[in-house]
Amino acid sequence: MKWDWSAVGDFMPHFWDGLLVTLQALALGSVISFALGLVWALLMRTPTRWVRWPVGVVTEFIRNTPLLVQLFFLFYVLPEWDITFSALTTGVVAIGLHYSTYTMQVYRAGIEAVPAGQWEAATALSLPVRRTWTAVILPQAIRRVVPPLGNYVISMLKDTPILMVITVMEMLGEARLYSQQHFQFTEPLTVIGVAFILISYPASLLLRALERRLVR
């Protein structure tokens, strides 16, 4: 097997296009998963079981079905109900929705880790419920959950190649298309593998440093 540097050079413009799409999907999917996960976590703490029960059923269903099945459902089934999104939007929503059920558990653990004395102090000061959450509970909980949330960002990054199945041309999709057109697989796939390592490994080191800083 001979390494062809000219193939790497030819592939690089496609790689940059795929990298941009990958980062877009990752950033938007992360925003959805973080925001929706917090909503799920807060709804699960409501005293009304008619709220908790449907939320629990929905999140368990999403968490226990494959992301690929959810992706196909959103992309192929929703249009039959006249609900149509672009391939990238569908992929972002699928990833964000899927991972929100995991970030929900992270938020839940962070909220439960807030000392009971903090709740009691807020009650003693007669703080309104909204003020208690925004000024006392959530600031402490979010500080605890930043590192685990970062781990899910890395997991989402590694799941972005699955968007290729609904025609989203992220990094692996660009590599696959280039390989099929030029019959050169080693170079583009190696570039993609190295790119994932160069993104995910430094990110994991940053998360470890952040975790050590936050637990001081």
Q: What is the pLDDT of residues 12-59, one digit of tens each?
A: 999 999 999 999 999 999 999 999 999 999 999 888 888 889 999 999
Winning range, highest mean pLDDT, from 144-153, 157-166, 203-212: 157-166
Beta-carbon contacts of 52 under 8 Å, excluding residues fewer than 6 positions away, are: 43, 44, 46
In this prediction, residue 70 carries a pLDDT of: 95
Amino acid letter for position 2: K
Q: If pLDDT is split at 50, 70 and 90, which confidence band does 127 have? A: confident
Percent of the chain as helix, strand, coil, to the nearest 5: 85, 0, 15
* Separation of first and last alpha carbons in the chain: 51
**Whether the predicted pLDDT of 141 surpasses 90:** no
Tell me the average pLDDT across 192-214. 85
- What are 85-120's pLDDT values in tens digits? 999 999 999 999 999 999 999 999 888 888 888 877
| H-assigned helices in 77-131 | 87-112, 116-124, 129-131
Q: Token digits for 52?
A: 């908790």
In this prediction, residue 188 carries a pLDDT of: 92
Tell me the average pLDDT across 171-193. 91
**Whether the predicted pLDDT of 1 surpasses 70:** no
Beta-carbon contacts of 206 under 8 Å, excluding residues fewer than 6 positions away, are: 150
In this prediction, residue 39 carries a pLDDT of: 94
Tell me the average pLDDT across 145-162. 91
pTM of the model: 0.90
